[in-house]
Amino acid sequence: MEKVLSGKPVATLLDKATARLIAEYGLVPQMLLIQVGSDPASAYYVQSIIKHGTKLGCKTTLKQLPESTSEKELLDFIYAANADPTIHGIMIQKPLPKHISDNSINFSINPDKDLDCLHPINLGKIVIEADGLLPCTPAAVYYLMRYYQIDPIGKNLVILGRSSVVGKPMANILLWKKAFTNATVTVCHSKTSYLKDITSNADILIAAIGRGNFVSSDMVKENVILLDVGINEIINDEGIAKYVGDIDYNSCLDKAMAITPVPGGIGRITTSVLFLNLIQACLTQLGVNKTVDEIITFIFNANHEDN
Ligand SMILES: NC(=O)c1ccc[n+]([C@@H]2O[C@H](COP(=O)([O-])OP(=O)(O)OC[C@H]3O[C@@H](n4cnc5c(N)ncnc54)[C@H](OP(=O)(O)O)[C@@H]3O)[C@@H](O)[C@H]2O)c1
């Protein structure tokens, strides 16, 4: 296994699978991307999603709503998109303004069009290992593990962070009984005591806490595998903004068996999963149900056929 686990080949593989499914089924997939407010980081991400989709032959319709949008206005908008047969997937850019309840919005999305797996039905399917859409970031980690043959079976796997979009669904996926799961999972959060004792025992550590360079080399053991979900903006000594992960890459590099970089690691894969989810949603709406295993087989066969 490579020491630095780039997300690029994994993203390329997913994009290849997406393009093949579009061609094979003659799809005209359309995503509705909703952004409320004008957070600059969100605006940047939204533009990169649109560009990526165009490259893959998917249409992305952006609906930008003002910060003052009420919860009811947003809900009405989502209900209209749920009923529109030309929209196959809905992605709502987070964070939402504070006056809008995440839960109300998550409950309102048609589960078949719920591209980031926010609806409780989709989260529940992950818990019971039923087929369905996978949340983009945890799926990006899972596909990276499969690509680099990181099998967590029997391993002590620690996740830092318990959010509903990353930490909790990640833990549930890695508790599955499929290939490249079966981990023994510990989930830590801001109230965890003796954090360093727990992280120091991890064979595989997944960090998703939103604290730049938080995990230092003294918190991990030799030959650990470090998977960094964090994307944090920091201003360097020259006053220039740059992005770092939750893991202190430079201090941990020597000690780790393998580590994902930031940028260029997990984050590089997430947008590709989003479009793969759009295709899966589009197929479901056409009455073609693909199981998680079928999608995975399709992705990894696409690789072998080209090699
Ligand atoms: N790569 C991607 O595509 C992608 C996608 C989504 C998010 N992200 C990044 O991933 C990171 C996490 O995102 P998120 O949405 O999950 O964040 P979040 O909703 O803010 O959740 C952060 C989690 O980390 C825990 N935490 C915070 N400080 C901690 C500490 N000192 N020790 C232990 N646990 C701590 C929190 O604990 P409590 O629950 O106790 O508050 C919470 O569970 C962010 O950097 C975000 O930018 C990346």
Q: What is the pLDDT of residues 210-247, one digit of tens each?
A: 999 999 999 999 999 999 999 999 888 899 989 999 99
Residue 281 Cα to ligand 1 midpoint, Å, equals 27
Q: Is 25-111 assigned to CATH 2.40.10.10?
A: no
Predicted TM-score (pTM) of the model is 0.96
Q: What is the pLDDT of residue 299?
A: 85
Residue 306: band (very low, low, confident or very high) from pLDDT cuts 50, 70, 90: low
**Is 194 a residue whose pLDDT tops 80?**
yes
230 close to 245: Cβ distance less than 8 angstroms: yes
φ/ψ of 133, rounded to 5, equals -75, 150
- 247-268 residue pLDDT tens: 999 999 999 999 999 999 999 9
- Ligand 1 pocket test, pick from 190, 197, 266, 274 with the greatest ligand atom count within 8 Å of Cβ, gives 190
- Cβ neighbours of residue 154 closer than 8 Å, sequence gap 6 or more: 182, 184
Residue 167 Cβ contacting ligand 1 at under 6 Å: yes
Atom of ligand 1 nearest to the CA of 270: 3
Confidence of residue 167 (pLDDT cuts 50, 70, 90): very high
pLDDT value at residue 302 = 66
Tell me the pLDDT tens digit for each residue of 1-28. Answer: 899 999 999 999 999 999 999 999 999 9
Rounded CA separation 253/265 (Å): 14
pLDDT digits (tens, 9 = 90+) for 74-93: 999 999 999 999 999 999 99
Q: How many residues does the chain have?
A: 307
| CATH number of the structural domain 136-267 | 3.40.50.720
For the Cβ of 215 lying below 6 angstroms from any atom of ligand 1, the answer is: no
- Looking up tokens 């998109």 gives 81
| Per-residue pLDDT reduced to its tens digit, 30-71 | 999 999 998 777 888 899 999 999 999 999 999 999 999 999
Q: Ligand 1, atom 35: nearest CA belongs to which residue? A: 190
For the chain, the structural domain boundaries read 25-111, 136-267
Instruction: Using the mean position of ligand 1's atoms as its centre, give its distance from the Cα of residue 218 in Å.
Output: 21
Would you say the CB of residue 229 lies under 6 angstroms from ligand 1? Answer: yes
Residue 13, classed as helix, strand or coil, is helix
269 lines ligand 1 (CB under 6 A): no
Distance 115 CA to ligand 1 centre (A): 20
